[in-house]
Structure 1
Amino acid sequence: MTAHGASREATAAARERLDALTDNTSVDAAQLSDELAAVTALLDREVSLRRVLTDPAQTAESKAELAQRLLGSQVSGPAADLVAGMVRSRWSQSRDLVDALEELASLADLTAAQRAGTLDSVEDELFRFGRIVSSSTELRAALTNRKAGISAKSELLRSLLGGRAAPTTERLVTRLVAAPRGRSLEAGLESLSKLAAERRDRMVAVVTSAVPLSDPQKQRLGAALAKLYGRTMHLNLDVDSEVLGGIRVQVGDEVINGSIADRIEDAGRRMAG
């Protein structure tokens, strides 16, 4: 499912907020995933509610307050805040909000796998399971049969994946089979595989600067770090007037003090040599 215009921007902003939340290890990413999946199911079912929450005639604040009232006692604070932030945004179609929530639920689960050191396995397992489904008409029919109950399908998946695949893989596939939301099973598995690959290639840079960075500075810094490390870079920004050299960047265990421009220039000279 492809978002367009305002929905694409709103989804990108929501993903940034999710990254900021899950980069904090005190947030339980697996629990957040379950809660976002529950909200996805609610809004997928309650069409009138999601229309109210995406109605451009309503103020952003009134929609956020409604989301907080509805969800505040049902999900954790981080999940409620994330959804409230999403409904403040503009959406091209009300269904796009549900699509974005579902994507965020999957990304939170993949973050849990990344923390557990199983993300590579999850990506591989999703790909291989997709191949198995494509090659087995009988299995595909059993998992997509609308007359079969969700519990029966879940039990079948447990027999296939339980103890043989990472818990995140089993959770993601079970959720997809239980709520395909108009997609074929193969398309859903392919989408999950792409999200896993994207998450695996993502790195986080903690950037502390003496003064707030401008948007152009953040863009240049992100591009420079991505070039230096060869991977997509997410920036977590902080301000500390006592930072020596004006900026401090930490990527994993590596700390870069002083001017990042000098660091990039040195790297370029080493590669040229």
Structure 2
Amino acid sequence: MTLPQTPSFRLDGQRAVIAGASSGIGLGCATALAEAGADVTLIARRADRLQEITAQMAARGWTAHALPLDITDIAATQAAVAAHGPFDILLNAAGLARHAPAIDTVPDDFDAVMNINLRAAYFLTRAVAAGLLQAGKTGSLINISSQMGHVGGPDRAVYCASKHAIEGMTKAMALEWGPRKIRVNTICPTFILTDLTQATFDDPAKRAWIEEKIKLGRAGQVTDIMGAALYLASPASDLVTGTALMVDGGWTAD
């Protein structure tokens, strides 16, 4: 009898591209993938911030590259991915939220949220997949979605619409590219404490609502997402595609 062997969570020899990598969830995921041995390319608009991060990663002996880019520029994104790829792993954490009652939604806010949360995510995923298909390689494509891609929330009609769309996109792409062994999944966090969400957590009423809905009784931390990203990027999840990995503390269990 031979005992089964746990699949590897290492990413040695793999090339990963992380969008939205200059802060928050994106930075955490970039760190997790680099620590596991991936050669990481970090995408964000802030060139100086990316240089600071890649320098810190290099000091730890990791391989990291800065690629300043606005992923809402579809042509520039496709050109950059084609020039620097193919990438074995995509982790897209770029996103935007503009919350307001649905009755108060203005077209500019709707378009801004959809432009990055859906349109840019769609074409970035497509660009990375195109490189893999052309090279005949397998891969793992991951978009950071949200628990709000599965439920609704007050003042979040536009945001929820964008994330529900990401979930549908993921399933369709997974079906299309599954025969070529390219996996497509989402990670769906609950409210994660970052610089961008600090104002929400500073509001006592909003924080009480969040902590009441999260069954584990605490807000999420960036570190809560890092293990999920590593799992979906690694060979440990080789049979996982077209699905959403909920990291929501039980929010959507009701």
TM-score exceeds 0.5: no
Q: Which has the higher contact order (CA 8 A, sep 6+)?
A: 2
Flag the structure with higher strand content: 2
Flag the structure with higher helix content: 1
The structure having more radius of gyration, on CA atoms, is 1
Report the TM-score, using the length of structure 1 for normalisation.
Answer: 0.28
